[in-house]
Amino acid sequence: MELRVLRYFLAVAREENITRAAAVLHLTQPTLSRQLMQLEEELGVTLFHRSRYRIVLTDEGMLLRRRAQELVELADKTVREFSAPQTELVGEIAIGAGETRSMSFLSRAIVTFRERYPGVVFRIFSANADDVKERLDMGLLDMGLLTEPVDVGQYAFCRMAEKDRWGVLVRADSPLAALGAVTPQDLEAVPLLISGRESVQRELSGWFGERWDKLQIAATFNLVLNAANMVRCGVGTALSFDLNMAFDDLRFLPLSPKVETGTVLVWKKDQMLTPAAQAFHRHLKNV
């Protein structure tokens, strides 16, 4: 399986049309069709449902798209690392980060680092801790900013000083908005939006206690901006961190008793870091 063919496959999956994909790739349509059929023969699966005007990925095709994106991204990242000039510190640092107030510390560190090394570009991947760990393990990220609870046994890490406080996002016209803080009893009869991470749900279940099994879970989420939109549209009340984000029509109320979560910056113990990433590690120790 060649990277070139995987790029062809990804173009077809994106365009959902052989003719358009061939034009984008500067190939003839018969050549592209032949490459796709050879790929299907090599894998022993059908990758597309074909019709006259459109092609759609099969389940096997969707799995290959995910794997192909990972492989192509890793190959491109490797090429960029080896293409960097050796006379000055340049290159790319890829960091995965959850939604946490510790991102402000990281942002300030990026500012002061780039004042010294303007040729270094940072690529930020926003996701929850589980997704960031997956990309770290595949070598797609140099480091990750993870919110706890998270298993860091296989990583080197440093703990961030600031903690994130849990609370709820509610509409400004909600009866809860008049409260200074919310208790488990206040949320028992309210449709809730919660993190999709099982480890986070276990942590929150300890705060709710016996009321956990009685909660009305309306939806799960992994990014708070989408959760805020659902709150705004009346889907429910979102359990989230206080990220110091201003919403004119929403209110953040802390949990009572207080619940706080720590954050760690991690990187793989056995991963050879690029010169740029090594320099950024040293810089973080002095920020």
- Over residues 171-199, the pLDDT tens digits come to 999 999 999 999 999 999 899 999 999 98
Domains 3-76 and 165-260 share a fold: no
Residue that the structure tokens 């995987």 belong to: 6
Question: So what's the pLDDT on residue 84?
Answer: 58
pLDDT score of 247: 85
Q: Is 16 left (phi over 0), alpha (psi -120 to 50) or beta?
A: left
Fold of 3-76: Arc Repressor Mutant, subunit A (1.10.10)
Distances (CA, A) of 271 to 22, 89, 159: 38, 19, 19
pLDDT number for residue 81 = 65
Q: Which CATH number is associated with domain 84-162+263-284?
A: 3.40.190.10
pLDDT value of residue 71: 86
Beta strand ranges found along 91-142 (DSSP E): 91-97, 120-126
Q: What is the pLDDT of residue 86?
A: 58
Name the average pLDDT for the chain: 90
Counting residues of the chain whose pLDDT is more than 90, the rounded percentage is 52
* Positions of the chain with pLDDT under 50: none
* Intra-chain end-to-end CA distance of the chain, in Å: 45
Domain assignments of the chain as residue spans, ordered by start:
3-76, 84-162+263-284, 165-260
Q: Which residue has the tokens 């293409």?
A: 83
> Over the stretch 40-49, which tens digit does the pLDDT of each residue have?
899 999 998 8
According to the CATH classification, is domain 165-260 in 3.40.190.10?
Answer: yes
Residue 247: alpha-carbon gap to chain centroid: 22
Closest CA to 102 of 161, 58, 45: 161
